[in-house]
């Protein structure tokens, strides 16, 4: 059995800075932070699911004035920047906990001639990127983001939201098939790489409960180098495909050996929201005054359902919008599904879909998953579909999102980002994945049908055991704020 | 620019009190002052207080809520120090009859409503207050404005002839001019180590003899 798979850990703690306050250990859902209070901590890479929440909370920074002279302080800072492979001209403070940076690598690759450079952006970036430029929490900037990415040299600016729409088509169909053909149930979402890694480490015996769908990022990556390459008449080998993600675990996901089709990596490199902001600043782009530009077609055209993937409950809501209509052939009476929109760690609901009483659950924050998974293991969980997101408010609270200086701003920022995402959905003409004309076209022209041969080849994946099974928590851990809702 | 920059926006007539030459007794008052106290044994050394302090005092440098908006060194007004196995946050006690004010040769320090304030504009960076403070609560550091270091005209580095930064004293001002007036460190501390001790001044303390500090 393989236990060590993270030979290049993504999450680091600088022992020369860490004061051992262990606030990171408090937010770590899998007890991966080890060390005595008051001593520098270490990250157990075998257990870490790379959610980056520790990086978000760490407030111990390197003081520029701690050295004996300002010159010494500046030299030490530069050393740390090089150690971390951060852009040299970065001005923000350096914290004890940090993640591996890819910006220097990507910026180098962008200068390589003969490449067709494509970028995709996750739903949660457009509601948080502006915060890095001092704008209010949750400012919605899809247009400026697309404009900035063009100025950074990308030939095509696509959108992970399109990938989310494809995910709904595939995952929704998979759910219907599992429900009608006998399981295994409950089916879990597989969009969140931290959650997938968590299941692989802590509950390997339940892996066949995960949907076989790749995440929206990987799906879009695979489509960019196949369908997209055909449309643009470029060789897949010449495509350099970058993804901008709110998540520290996405690079790990894109490096997984399974994540390739026909010998091409689905996604070549991942940058976080913060890294995109560094890049924009480094290139002197005046973000606030950029014009709004469109995403490229067709792989950048999304429905409202695609855009809500960024918040907890979003995948569930998007799936129900489509699943309901595909199963019943009737219009969903109400598009806004408030029962999945809460903030609790676990939310459960029952939805009447035709003759089927669909039981669903939404989990936000992996510490809440243990209890539920223990019940699945014991065969006591009769839900059909469970969404799990590793981070406390879904991707809008991901480890790669803007880091806030005041703890009291965190909840405020999450709420603003969330309502901005829902506002974005509400403003869309098309709010269901299966009604997105570009999705319809994709299936007509290229994929055939959901779960078909081409889909299977490009869009689905397998999972692997990465640990001995549950080691961190007892099943009695309390999950505060569990609530049950029911709609009929 | 550090937090005393808040004082930039004060009406000028507030300054007149410190322009007179009547000595420190007129600038420090006997109003019992408030100050932030720490339950040192409980401090875990997370520096959330330092970061919060810096964040709320740095608006003049265009610093927003996100770390990405920070373009100047983090210069807080509370300092978490390690003593053996323990961490303890250190900041100004807002002394009645403040020694720092007595030491200041240019009357840049005065007491207003029980808060000992340093007027950064007036401060000449001489560090006398630093020496006088019994708590080590004052730092003299470069002044930043609009994200750039302010240079001192006439003060150049000998070898390369670049202008050197202007420095000024900086210390806790009890967040006197932030929005809700609540000390940011108290709010930010995850362990409830910090608390605002309120001075109650219904019976004014005995007038004190002015301590004599040599002046320049
Ligand atoms: S990494 Fe940061 S949050 Fe964690 S113990 Fe060290 S200083 Fe504290
Ligand atoms: S990245 Fe997440 S799982 Fe890993 S140590 Fe940090 S908080 Fe724990
Ligand atoms: S700076 Fe020092 S001397 Fe001055 S009031 Fe504060 S604690 Fe007292
Ligand atoms: S925030 Fe509180 S616990 Fe953290 S260093 Fe400051 S006083 Fe100590």
Concatenated DSSP letters of A84-110:
TT--TT--SPPBSEEE---HHHHHHHH
Residue A213 clears pLDDT 90, i.e. is over it: yes
How does pLDDT run across A311-334, given as a tens digit for each residue? 999 999 998 888 888 888 888 877
User: Residues A351-369: what's their mean pLDDT?
Assistant: 90
Which pLDDT score is estimated for B28?
53
Name the residue in chain B with its Cα closest to that of A410. B65
Q: Is the model's pLDDT at B12 over the cut of 50? A: no
pLDDT of residue A87 exceeding 60, the answer is: yes
pLDDT at A109 over 90: yes
Strand partners, A190: none
| Phi, psi for residue B50 in degrees, rounded to 5 | -60, -45
Instruction: Tally the C-alpha atoms within 13 A of residue B111's C-alpha that lie toward its C-beta.
Output: 26
Rounded mean pLDDT, B149-153: 87
Confidence check: pLDDT of B9 > 60? no
Residue minimizing CA distance to atom 1 of ligand 3 = B92
Report H helices in A244-310. Answer: 250-255, 273-282, 304-307
Q: Quote the ipTM score.
A: 0.89
Cβ distance B74 to A23 less than 8 Å, yes or no, reads no
Does A4 score more than 80 pLDDT? no
What is the model's pLDDT at position B202? 54
Average pLDDT over residues A241-265: 94
B interface mutation test: which of A405, A410, A417 has the most B CBs within 10 A? A405
Atom of ligand 2 nearest to the CA of A44: 5
Write the residue in A37, A61, A406 that is nearest to B44 by C-beta.
A37
Residues of A with CB under 8 A from a CB of B: 19-23, 37-38, 59-61, 63-65, 91-93, 95, 131-135, 137, 274, 277-278, 402-409, 413
Computed over every residue of chain A, the mean pLDDT equals: 90
From the list A132, A170, A174, A317, the catalytic residue is: A174
Question: Is residue A210 pLDDT above 90, yes or no?
Answer: yes
Å from CA of A361 to ligand 2 middle: 24
Query: Would you list which residues of chain B are within 8 Å, Cβ to Cβ, of chain A?
Result: 44-48, 50-52, 54-56, 62-75, 82, 85, 87, 139, 141, 184, 187-188, 190
Q: What is the pLDDT of residues A179-204, one digit of tens each?
A: 988 879 999 999 999 999 999 999 99
In this predicted structure, what is the pLDDT of residue A325? 87
Out of A168-177, A268-277, B5-14, least confident range: B5-14
CA distance A399 to A248: 5
Structure tokens at A466: 């990465």
Q: How confident is the model over A102-118, as a mean pLDDT? A: 95
Q: Which of A21-35, A89-103, B27-41 has the lowest mean pLDDT?
A: B27-41
**Ligand 1 touching residue A13 (CB < 6 A):** yes
SS3 A319: helix
pTM: 0.89
User: What is the 8-class DSSP label of residue A174?
Assistant: H
Ligand 1 near B46 CB (within 6 A): yes
Whether pLDDT at B26 is above 80: no
Closest-CA residue of chain B to A69:
B141
In percent, the amount of chain B with pLDDT more than 90 equals: 53
| A304: exposed, middle or buried (Cβ count in 10 Å: 0-12, 13-18, 19+) | buried
Confidence of residue A268 (pLDDT cuts 50, 70, 90): very high
Q: Which ligand does the CA of A32 lie closest to?
A: 2
Q: How far apart are CA A275 and CA A266, in angstroms?
A: 21
Helical H segments across A329-382, by residue range: 369-377
Question: Strand pairing of A385-389 and A483-484?
Answer: unpaired
- A399-427 average pLDDT score: 94
Q: Does ligand 2 come within 6 angstroms of the Cβ of A58? A: no
Q: Which DSSP symbol is given to A460?
A: B
Set A6, A28, A191, A192: catalytic member: A191
User: In the prediction, which pLDDT does B118 show?
Assistant: 95
Residues of B in contact with A92 (CB under 8 A): 67-68, 70-71
Q: What is the pLDDT of residues A431-440, one digit of tens each?
A: 988 889 999 9
Of residues B6 and B128, the one with the higher pLDDT is B128
């Amino acid at each position: 059995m393989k236990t060590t798979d993270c030979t290049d850990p993504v999450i680091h703690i600088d022992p020369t800075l860490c004061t051992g306050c262990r606030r990171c250990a408090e937010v770590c859902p899998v007890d991966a932070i080890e060390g005595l209070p008051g001593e520098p901590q270490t990250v157990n890479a075998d257990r870490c699911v790379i959610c980056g929440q520790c990086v978000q909370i760490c407030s111990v920074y390197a003081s520029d004035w701690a050295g004996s002279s300002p010159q010494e302080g500046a030299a030490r800072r530069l050393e740390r920047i090089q150690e971390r492979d951060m852009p040299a001209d970065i001005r923000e403070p350096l914290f004890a906990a940090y993640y591996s940076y890819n910006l220097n690598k990507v910026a180098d690759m962008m200068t390589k001639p003969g490449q067709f450079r494509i970028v995709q952006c996750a739903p949660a970036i457009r509601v948080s990127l502006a915060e890095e430029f001092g704008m209010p929490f949750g400012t919605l900037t899809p247009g400026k983001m697309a404009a900035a990415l063009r100025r950074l040299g990308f030939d095509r600016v696509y959108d992970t939201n399109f990938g989310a729409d494809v995910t709904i088509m595939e995952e929704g169909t998979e759910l219907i098939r599992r429900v009608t053909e006998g399981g295994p149930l409950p089916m879990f979402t597989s969009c969140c790489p931290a959650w997938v890694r968590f299941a692989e480490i802590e509950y390997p015996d339940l892996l066949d409960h995960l949907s076989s769908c790749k995440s929206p990022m990987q799906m879009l990556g695979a489509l960019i180098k196949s369908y997209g390459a055909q449309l643009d008449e470029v060789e897949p080998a010449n495509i350099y495909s970058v993804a901008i993600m709110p998540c520290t675990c996405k690079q790990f996901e894109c490096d997984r050996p399974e994540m390739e089709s026909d010998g091409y990596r689905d996604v070549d490199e991942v940058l976080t929201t913060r890294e995109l902001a560094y890049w924009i600043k480094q290139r002197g782009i005046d973000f606030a005054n950029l014009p709004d530009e469109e995403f490229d077609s067709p792989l950048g055209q999304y429905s409202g359902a695609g855009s809500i993937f960024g918040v907890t409950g979003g995948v569930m809501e998007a799936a129900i919008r489509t699943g309901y209509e595909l199963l019943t052939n009737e219009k969903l009476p109400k598009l806004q599904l408030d029962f999945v929109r809460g903030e609790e760690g676990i939310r459960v609901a029952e939805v009447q879909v035709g003759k089927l009483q669909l039981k669903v659950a939404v989990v936000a924050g992996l510490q809440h998953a243990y209890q539920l998974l223990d019940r699945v293991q014991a065969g006591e969980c009769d839900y059909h579909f469970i969404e799990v997101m590793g981070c406390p408010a879904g991707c809008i609270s991901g480890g790669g999102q803007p880091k806030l200086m005041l703890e009291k701003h965190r909840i405020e920022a999450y709420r603003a980002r969330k309502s901005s995402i829902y506002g974005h959905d509400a403003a869309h003409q098309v709010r269901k994945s299966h009604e997105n004309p570009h999705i319809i076209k994709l299936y007509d022209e290229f994929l055939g049908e959901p779960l078909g041969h081409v889909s299977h080849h490009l869009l689905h994946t397998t999972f692997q055991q990465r640990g001995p099974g549950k080691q961190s928590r007892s099943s009695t851990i309390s999950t505060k704020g569990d609530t049950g809702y029911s709609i009929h | 620019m550090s937090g005393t920059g808040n004082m930039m926006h004060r009406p000028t007539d507030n300054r007149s009190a410190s322009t007179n030459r009547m000595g420190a007794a007129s600038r420090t008052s006997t109003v019992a002052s408030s100050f932030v106290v720490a339950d040192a044994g409980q401090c875990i050394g997370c520096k959330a207080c330092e970061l919060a302090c810096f964040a709320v005092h740095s608006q003049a440098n265009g610093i927003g809520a996100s770390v990405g908006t920070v373009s100047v060194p983090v210069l807080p007004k509370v300092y978490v120090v390690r003593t053996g196995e323990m961490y303890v946050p250190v900041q100004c006690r807002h002394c009645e009859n403040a020694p720092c004010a007595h030491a200041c040769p240019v009357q840049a320090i005065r007491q207003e409503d029980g808060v000992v304030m340093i007027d950064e504009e007036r401060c000449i960076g001489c560090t006398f207050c630093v020496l006088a403070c019994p708590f080590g609560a004052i730092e003299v550091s470069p002044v930043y404005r609009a994200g750039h270091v302010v240079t001192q005209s006439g003060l150049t580095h000998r070898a390369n002839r670049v202008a050197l930064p202007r420095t000024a004293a900086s210390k806790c001002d009890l967040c006197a001019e932030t929005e809700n007036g609540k000390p940011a460190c108290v709010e930010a501390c995850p362990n409830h180590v910090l608390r605002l001790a309120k001075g109650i001044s219904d019976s004014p303390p005995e007038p004190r003899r002015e301590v004599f500090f040599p002046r320049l």
